[in-house]
Structure 1
Amino acid sequence: MQVSYIVALLALLAVTATAQPFLPGTGFLPLGNLRTTDNGGPYNISLLTVQANEIKGGLAAKQNFTDKDIVHFLTNVECLEGLFDTWGTFGHGFNNNLTLGGPTPIGARKANLSDAVRPFMEEVALNEQGHALFTRQAGSDLPCPPIDFTGGFNKYFGAAYNLTGNDTIESKFGAPFDPFLNDECYLLSVLSLEELGATGNKGLTALLTNPVIANGVAGLATSATAQATVQRMLLWERRNNTVYPFNETVQQVFARISALRDSLDGPQMDDQGLVNTDPRTIAVPDYYVNMIPTDVRGLTFSRTPQQLINILTLGSPDGVGVFFPKGLYGAINKPTGFNVSASGLDSFPSSGAKVASQLSTQQIGTLPGPMLPPNVTGELDLTQSLTGTLDNGTAATRGYTIIPPGMPYFSNASQVAVAYPLQTGSSNASSNGSYAYGGRRFF
């Protein structure tokens, strides 16, 4: 009896020693969702391709630009976000002339917000006013540029519905989109901009040489990320509400917005919907809730100024249009060389400011020196190849289609065993004390 107990204990320890992560007190659990395309996939832990390409893009974006140029660029985007949030929440623009003489945005007015949403948006608006104040304290003397809320959001959301030429939201759906109409329309509009600020500010921290300004911009990035999480939660609670005039749910509309943004910043996947149905890219919890867009390691994404300009002007080569009818002020005002790939790790482009595109692991090859870490314990369990393919370029992979919890891809899920007594009475526990899940059995 004692021998069999020791053998069983050693077998359990052998399993737990090779299974990661270790979660004490929770019995035998399926890891299930934390996996990418395959061992050579776009988020392979051993290659860190996401960050490598963010570095490449950042170094290329830095070409010929000073810290003050970057602060001036920030003025444009913080005026856009801050004025939209302030007008929509409070019904007026910046106090104390933070605009430095800039005009009132086209279509600016107070949004019809419920008591359940207004307090959260008041905090966001005050934070965004603070972001605009930071740009002034950091040395920006440029006024806020002309901004168009009415035309901007109608063109932006129209692009998310693939409207081109003379087709408009009004001609297709019978009425224009009003970003101030109600909770759903306003939150969708706010978040469509908020996450550009979050990823863009994070990307700027690597471009700045002044540590004081870089530290402040890091604060902008973390603040914007927290604000976006609040907005995602508010939208998640309303995800099944219908959005006027599209006659689609909040979840579906934001899936389109996410797909649009992702299509305009290069081929890398760095945008996600409210519901993540594609477990090849990030960890997928029950019900596919996705409050914090990250890669499979929980790292948030970065964008360069040129990528943001390309998104905010819908690919306008001169950086004019959509939200900025007269363009952005300052030296960083175009998506210059957006589709040109620059190495960044070994040399700068010969001329101009060029933004790198995300490369595949095959194109990147082996990264040099300290950027190539040793093998990660449990890595193979975290990178399972999946049956079938999904089109990463569509809204469907960002939660447009509701999929029941536990689907898809559980047939080849990874598992993890932990040192905790088996729970009795489980339908998954067999008569001989083993536990089976996803085709694998632990003893």
Structure 2
Amino acid sequence: MATSISYLASRAALVFVVALLEYYLISLNHLVISANSSPNNNYCTPIEANDTDLIQFALNLEFLEAEFFLHGALGEGLDAISPNLALGGPPPIGGHKANLNPLVAPIIQEFGYQEVGHLRAIITTIGGFPRPLLNLSRENFAALFDQAAGFPLTPPFDPYANSVNYLLASYAIPYVGLAGYVGTIPDLTEPTNCRLVASLLGVEAGQDAVIRALLYKMAHWKVFPYTLTVADFTNLISGLRNKLGRCGIKDEGIIVAQALGTENRTCSNVLSADLDSLSYARTQPEILRIVYATGDESVPGGFYPRGANGNIARRFLNGY
């Protein structure tokens, strides 16, 4: 009996060490990718723009989140829930109702309605622009996850297949907007605008925390039918965003090497933050490079096949 217990304990320890080594290697790869994307005059510092343009830029991400969450939870988007907020923009491509479990479904529905409120708050406060064309198709997400993994996943990743996949797909979206709001607030001049963006940031941060916490609970799960775990995928997605953003490490997965952990003492990473546990900030060009999935703010693609809208996004498309 004692021998059996000793064997089981040794086996459990071995499994833990192997898992920890796997996460360390993924995180090390994340560091290498990020080091190769270090700042080099890539608009890593704030750009010149007025309050209206800075805040309206965020509408691009709010439209994306609203449509993805609403379609995922309800099978329909802004055109069914609050069509006036689309301001005449084209309907998104490829949105679907996801196969969500009873825990995740109401959370995503709540997120979707929250994004409707965000759109309304921005548009009624400072004005807006038509919803850009959005690509929410399975094919687009599959291409993004292939890009993150560094090889074609077989079968192609389907964000709408189940709750785990949908949460991983969600992991790829709200955090970019969160970092954008952190980067925007210091550049605003009007107190009322600062208050608006701070209020938006609070909810975006909450959404990201919920998604990360749900994924952290499943960190060791293999994402069927792949050999990669949930934690592996978060590290790969974060690594890709750092690479595309081209401004260093501003994104981290849910389990990291201790060198990236809180006070360099943890491997858990439920909240992504810098060395002082402060939120990372991104500029508008960084965000465009990420959501276009091209690494170039002047080359549309990814979620925005025709590019984002608003003065800031369009001036980069026009060769600013």
Band of TM-score, shorter chain: 0.7 to 0.9
Work out the CA distance in 2 between the residues paired with 1:72 and 1:78.
10
Aligned ranges for residues 291-330 of structure 1 at < 5 Å? 291-314=270-293, 315-330=295-310
Residues 231/281 of structure 1: CA separation in 2 closer, same or farther (3 Å cut) = closer
Aligned to 1:82: 66
Q: Secondary structure at the match of 1:279?
A: helix
Cα deviation, residue 332, structure 1: 1.3
Aligned to 2:158: 178
Aligned to 1:290: 269
Aligned to 1:145: 132
Deviations 1:269-305 (A, max 9, x none): 221111122335633565x221111122221111111
Q: Secondary structure at the match of 2:126?
A: coil
Q: After TM superposition, which residue ranges in structure 1, 4 or more long, deviate above 3 angstroms?
A: 244-247, 334-337
Aligned to 2:50: 66
Deviations 1:15-50 (A, max 9, x none): xxxxxxxxxxxxxxxxxxxxxxxxxxxxxxxxxxxx
Q: What is the one-letter code of the residue matched to 2:46?
A: A
Work out the CA distance in 2 between the residues paired with 1:84 and 1:323.
11
Greater RCO structure (CA 8 Å; 6+ sep): 1
Aligned ranges for residues 186-205 of structure 1 at < 5 Å? 186-205=166-185
Work out the CA distance in 1 between the residues paired with 2:90 and 2:314.
22
Pairing 1:133–2:120 present: yes
Aligned ranges for residues 34-433 of structure 1 at < 5 Å? 60-63=45-48, 65-94=49-78, 95-97=81-83, 98-150=85-137, 151-163=139-151, 172-244=152-224, 246-279=226-259, 282-284=262-264, 288-314=267-293, 315-333=295-313
Q: Secondary structure at the match of 2:258?
A: coil
Work out the CA distance in 1 between the residues paired with 2:307 and 2:191.
29
Q: In percent, how many aligned pairs have the same letter?
A: 30
Q: Secondary structure at the match of 1:247?
A: coil
2:73–2:105 CA contact under 8 A, matched in 1: yes
- Which 5+ residue runs of structure 1 have no aligned equivalent? 1-52, 164-171, 338-351, 354-443
Structure exhibiting the larger radius of gyration computed from Cα positions: 1
Deviations 1:141-165 (A, max 9, x none): 31111100124322221210225xx
- Count, aligned residues: 274
Q: Secondary structure at the match of 1:276?
A: coil
Q: Secondary structure at the match of 2:69?
A: helix
Work out the CA distance in 2 between the residues paired with 1:231 and 1:222.
15
Work out the CA distance in 1 between the residues paired with 2:126 and 2:296.
28
1:281–1:295 CA contact under 8 A, matched in 2: no
Work out the CA distance in 1 between the residues paired with 2:128 and 2:315.
23
Aligned to 1:373: none
Structure number with higher helix proportion: 2
- Which 5+ residue runs of structure 2 have no aligned equivalent? 1-38
Q: What is the one-letter code of the residue matched to 2:82?
A: N
